[in-house]
Amino acid sequence: MQPTTHALPHPGVLESHHEELSFWRKYIFATDHKVIGIQYGITGLSFLFFGFCLVALMRWQLAYPGASIPVIGGSLNAILGDAMMNKSPQGGYFMAAELYNAFGAMHGTIMVFLAIVPLAFAAFGNLIVPLQIGAADMAFPRINMASYQAYFMGGVIMLVSFFIPGGAAQAGWTSYSPLASIIATDGQTFWLIGMVFLITSSLLGAVNFIATIIQLRAPGMTWMRLPFFCWAQFVTAFLLLLAFPPLEAAAVMQLMDKVAHTSFFLPTGLVIAGKAAEISGGGSPLLWQHLFWFLGHPEVYVLILPAMGIVCEIIANNTRKPIWGYKSLVYSVLVIGFLSFIVWAHHMYLTGMGTKISTFFQTTTMIISVPSVIILTCLFLSLWGGSIRFNTPMLFALAFLPMFGIGGLTGLPLGFNFSDIHLHDTYYIIAHFHYIVAPGTIFGLFAGIYYWFPKVTGRTMSEHLGKIHFWGSLIFMNLVFLPMFAQGMAGLGRRMYDGGATYANSAETIGIPLDMIHRNVSISHAAWALGLAQIPFIFNFFWSLKHGKKVTSDNHWGSTTLEWQTPTPPPHGNFLKPPVVYRGPYEYSVPGHAQDFTPQNQP
Amino acid sequence: MNTACPATPRILLRKTNLDKPLWEKLFMDIPYIVKPREDTGLYNAKVGIWLFLASEVMLFGALFSSYILLRVGAAAGTWPHGLLNVALGTINTLVLICSSVTVVMSWASLKLGNFGRYRIYQSITLLCALTFLGIKSVEYHDKFNHYEVIQTDGRIVDGHLVERTKDFDLAKKTGAVTLLGHFVEKTEAGAHEATAKHAEHSNITIPVAQIKKMENYGPWHSTYLAIYFTLTGLHALHVFAGAAVIFVIWGPLAGLWKTDPARYTNRIEISGLFWHFVDLVWIFLFPVLYLL
Ligand code: HEM
Ligand SMILES: [Cu+2]
């Protein structure tokens, strides 16, 4: 079988065309989707690391409130200034409350908008989607470049905000007004301007992805022959396209509140620090929450759908059999996309928006869990009877399933207002969505990195280190997040500077059991260990770039989809000759074929 | 693993020198930049602009929803009416409708191959855009010059700034300000408009010592003005951006008409679609902000 006979002159031709570009055009102002994908990947991974560092420091304050930070406390004080660090009587420095709040808000912002979305959607989407649909590039390469640059600018603005007087935004990644609007420092203003850049970037990216998938599918690549990963990205792009603009509107209005002293989100009679605020009033704090969560809920599917797509590709490839229920997957993802626009107010049960509205959103929330369950079930059933290859990407993909399952199931009690009243704003929420985003989405991303690394670099990552990385991550992820469910159910609130110590067993309040607060210590230890568990990955990643084993085949994993039917790494323009698609995406182990995979472009 | 598809040797990817026409033939290019794809019937940029407009609908939709929520939530009788100049708003509506027509005519002219006619029509479009922005800034100026002064005796003066004395300073309590306006009978906004229409306007000079609070009708004055300035400001930005794009295609990029007329015409179609959207937004803005 010869899916791509690499006739001699073609590759050289393409490469010499490549070499005409200067360094700047090729790597900095690149328009090639693969280079942009790598740019997104590197920037996103850096932000992922930075976001983790913020939380690693916060975990110190939670485990040992008021204890000075070892080793780097002094440097933090030097960098961030006295206003952000408190001097400890025993010597050394510990975090000021303002810094804790800023780190918390920026951890959420950075992880969601600067790490996971850029990685899951933009990096993997850019790298893989055009290849999988058999296109030469994205539909609008220059808009693609602009999208990355807007993202980069947004990131720079967010980073700079740490160093302005008063520090970064402190009102949480949700930035609820009035709190967000009345904190006197400029952190929130920077946050809002940064968000406008990030939203612009996402919008440009979304337009590009949708147009690419609609217009540039190779001949024969019908909708029902599209790999599931492309479907997931397609729906994700629609979510970004339609859900982000309302947040942009909200950001503009909050910016007006900050700089033009309007009162969009500030109510009449607002009192700040004991004094009546000098504002016109008449605004609505609820309005912000509606606009925020109108993005916020679709956004959580933006975080998870691309990871589901990656996992699906890898499961099909490593079970060596077709995905069970491909069509159900496709219809489910479409239904999720649609329904995710009408569930947002399940984040607002405690705002007193009224029982009728509450009932509506409870209903839609329960309905949306159905397609999620269908997807998970299809992926589980796909394992049945497969001769599974347990390589590193597959391990991560397999772990994704139960982890996402835990995250999803624990969402159900949050979807009913009667149980949410107890759980809202506690560590239970933190556990719920981290199960989905951390051992869920991030495992999906790791799986994708191990899986596509050979295609992008021509070398493989070490399986041995990969497995160490996998087991370390899996164990410590659970040690971090599982106890948080218990803490939350015991009433431990989130976003508390001292980790709840103030409320421990206090006589006046309903005391939080001390052992629940003591778990903060073991959780912090697990969190730092989780950080250490990434060292094999970081080493593996860089080492394999130079010294990894060279691939012996363009189709390293014996895959059916088109991205593997190209030279390695794919040249500018991707395919040596325009591919034609003859079959569905997962024709593994087709009876009567010599090989256990039949590429989509094989007649 | 499998031997079916051996890795393309890197050496082969390095140096082969072929002449340009050949590599252009081999090089896989992005299709449907000009010609529509058969099954969708659209060229790429048209898909792109429709998607972009969908997101714009969501942007302005969110702002309109905010308008509704703020208005419904306002305390009874506090939502101001009649603050804006309906005549100017009407003129601006007509100006934009006119520009919509000329945009279509310019595109039709190109389709008929008449580049000169296209240029004339499109320059009318640009003139319309400038007129619109000009009128809009006159309206803005008027609002920023319109003051409400609450005196220490509780009476309220409402009017346009005539002049401030040289030593005018609110903080130091020196000087005086003269407004062309009238004394408002009651403090509720509802009563205000009724009197404003019929009141005799005259020059009223107020010494700063008598001023408790002085504020102009900027976005900070009320949520109505806040949403008015935000919506119209964002819309004006869109008008400006649209006009800038139309101008760039009209002037600096006109060379493309000679080399690739089909693509040039497509650009006019795309920018025209955007322009129609911007007009449509105004068609909603005008009644909502000026009339209701
Ligand atoms: C499968 C069904 C799911 C249900 C029923 C569900 C339900 C909920 C509910 C009701 C809340 C609000 C709780 C509160 O604030 O009191 C919540 C929070 C959250 N969920 Fe889910 N969820 C589901 C899946 C997901 C997915 C797939 C993600 C994606 C990554 C996700 C991410 C989040 C996040 C980030 C929050 C926290 C928001 C905050 O900061 O307040 N959830 N979930
Ligand atoms: Cu939600």
If one compares B110 and A514, the residue with the highest pLDDT of the two is B110
In a domain, B36, yes or no: no
Instruction: Express each pLDDT in A179-217 by its tens digit.
Output: 999 998 999 999 999 999 999 999 999 999 999 999 999
Average pLDDT over residues A301-313: 97
What's the total number of domains in chain B? 3
Average pLDDT over residues A99-123: 97
In a domain, B37, yes or no: no
Out of A51-60, A402-411, B190-199, least confident range? B190-199
Task: Name which of B6, B22, B62 is nearest A554 (Cβ-Cβ).
Answer: B6
Q: What are the two backbone dihedrals, phi and then psi, of residue A205, each rounded to the nearest 5 degrees?
A: -60, -45
In a domain, B38, yes or no: no
Amino acid B176: pLDDT: 87
Please determine, for residue B190, whether its predicted confidence score (pLDDT) is greater than 60: no
Q: Calculate the CA dihedral of residues B160, B163, B167, B172 and round it to 10 degrees.
A: 0
Q: Smallest CA–CA separation between A552 and chain B, in Å?
A: 5
Write down the mean pLDDT value for chain B. 87
Range of the domain at B185: 145-216
At A509, the pLDDT band (50, 70, 90 cuts) reads low
If one compares B1 and B155, the residue with the highest pLDDT of the two is B155
Write down the pTM of the prediction.
0.92
Residues B50 and B132 in one domain: yes
Please determine, for residue B62, whether its predicted confidence score (pLDDT) is greater than 80: yes
Q: What is the CATH number of the domain that holds B181?
A: 2.30.30
Q: Where are the domains of chain A?
A: 36-268+279-500+509-565
Please determine, for residue A1, whether its predicted confidence score (pLDDT) is greater than 70: no
At B163, the pLDDT band (50, 70, 90 cuts) reads confident
Residues of chain A positioned with their CB less than 8 A from the CB of B5: 2-4, 553-555, 564-565
Please determine, for residue A125, whether its predicted confidence score (pLDDT) is greater than 60: yes
Residues B258 and B243 in one domain: yes
Tokens 């606009």 — which residue? A291
Please determine, for residue B194, whether its predicted confidence score (pLDDT) is greater than 70: no
Q: Encoding tokens for residue A245?
A: 């603009």
Compute and round to an integer the Cα radius of gyration of chain B. Answer: 28
Tokens 């860089």 — which residue? A542
At B15, the pLDDT band (50, 70, 90 cuts) reads very low
How far is C-alpha A39 from the geometric centre of its chain's CA atoms?
16
Task: Name which of A214, A555, A571 is nearest B2 (Cβ-Cβ).
Answer: A555
Please determine, for residue A456, whether its predicted confidence score (pLDDT) is greater than 90: yes
At position B100, the amino acid (one-letter code) is S
Ligand 1 residue neighbourhood (C-beta within 6 Å): A 174, 300, 303-304, 346-347, 365, 369, 372, 408, 411-412, 414-415, 420, 423-424, 429, 432-433, 436-437
Amino acid A25: pLDDT: 76
Amino acid A20: pLDDT: 60
Q: Does A554 touch chain B (CB under 8 A)?
A: yes
Please determine, for residue A371, whether its predicted confidence score (pLDDT) is greater than 80: yes
Amino acid A510: pLDDT: 65
Q: A433: CA distance to ligand 1 center in Å?
A: 6
Amino acid B24: pLDDT: 44
Please determine, for residue A502, whether its predicted confidence score (pLDDT) is greater than 90: no
In 3D space, the residue among A112, A122, A124 whose CA is nearest the CA of residue A296 turns out to be: A112
On whether the CB atoms of residues B85 and B291 are closer than 8 A, the answer is no
Task: Using the 3D structure, point to which of B216, B241, B276 is the last residue of a domain.
Answer: B216
Q: Encoding tokens for residue A261?
A: 């002293």
A59 Cβ contact partners less than 8 Å away, ≥ 6 residues apart = A520, A523, A524, A527, A528
Residues B12 and B155 in one domain: no
Residue B179: helix, strand or coil by DSSP? strand
CATH entry, A36-268+279-500+509-565, from 3.40.50.300, 3.90.230.10, 1.20.210.10, 2.160.10.10: 1.20.210.10
The interface residues of chain B toward chain A in range 179-238, judged by CB-CB distance below 8 A, are 218-223, 226-227, 229-230, 234
Ligand having the closest approach to the CA of A300: 1
On whether the CB atoms of residues A460 and A454 are closer than 8 A, the answer is yes
Amino acid A96: pLDDT: 94
Residues B131 and B158 in one domain: no
Task: Using the 3D structure, point to which of B187, B216, B245 is the last residue of a domain.
Answer: B216
Residues B134 and B113 in one domain: yes
Q: Encoding tokens for residue A508?
A: 């006046």
At A398, the pLDDT band (50, 70, 90 cuts) reads very high
Residues B16 and B154 in one domain: no
Beta strands in A96-204 (DSSP E): none
Residues B10 and B69 in one domain: no
Please determine, for residue B22, whether its predicted confidence score (pLDDT) is greater than 90: no
- Tell me if B70 and A287 make a contact (CB, 8 A cut-off): yes
Q: A364: CA distance to ligand 1 center in Å?
A: 14
Instruction: Express each pLDDT in B76-87 by its tens digit.
Output: 888 998 899 999
Residues B157 and B196 in one domain: yes
Amino acid A153: pLDDT: 98
| Neighbour count for residue A464 (Cβ, 10 Å) | 11
- Cβ-Cβ pairs closer than 8 A, A with B, add up to 222
Instruction: Express each pLDDT in B230-276 by its tens digit.
Output: 999 999 999 999 999 999 999 999 999 999 999 999 999 999 999 99
Average pLDDT over residues A145-165: 97
Average pLDDT over residues A435-462: 97
Amino acid B202: pLDDT: 87
Residues B110 and B245 in one domain: yes
| Helix (H), strand (E) at residue B149 | strand B146-151
In a domain, B250, yes or no: yes
Q: What is the CATH number of the domain that holds B259?
A: 1.20.120.80
Average pLDDT over residues A317-331: 96
Please determine, for residue B221, whether its predicted confidence score (pLDDT) is greater than 50: yes
Task: Using the 3D structure, point to which of B216, B233, B265 is the last residue of a domain.
Answer: B216
Average pLDDT over residues B155-177: 87
Please determine, for residue A593, whether its predicted confidence score (pLDDT) is greater than 70: yes
The interface residues of chain A toward chain B in range 456-475, judged by CB-CB distance below 8 A, are 458
Classify residue A352 by burial, with Cβ atoms within 10 Å: 0-12, 13-18, 19+. exposed
On whether the CB atoms of residues A100 and A63 are closer than 8 A, the answer is no
At A236, the pLDDT band (50, 70, 90 cuts) reads very high
Out of A4-8, A398-402, A522-526, least confident range? A4-8
Highest-confidence range of A163-167, A471-475, A594-598, by mean pLDDT?
A471-475
Instruction: Express each pLDDT in B198-213 by its tens digit.
Output: 678 888 999 888 888 8
At position A442, the amino acid (one-letter code) is I
Amino acid B18: pLDDT: 45
Please determine, for residue B223, whether its predicted confidence score (pLDDT) is greater than 60: yes
- DSSP character string of B58-115: HHHHHHHHHHHHHHHHSPTT-S--S-S-HHHHHHHHHHHHHHHHHHHHHHHHHHTT-H
Amino acid B198: pLDDT: 64
Q: Does B13 touch chain A (CB under 8 A)?
A: yes
Write down the mean pLDDT value for chain A. 92
In a domain, B39, yes or no: no
Please determine, for residue B16, whether its predicted confidence score (pLDDT) is greater than 60: no
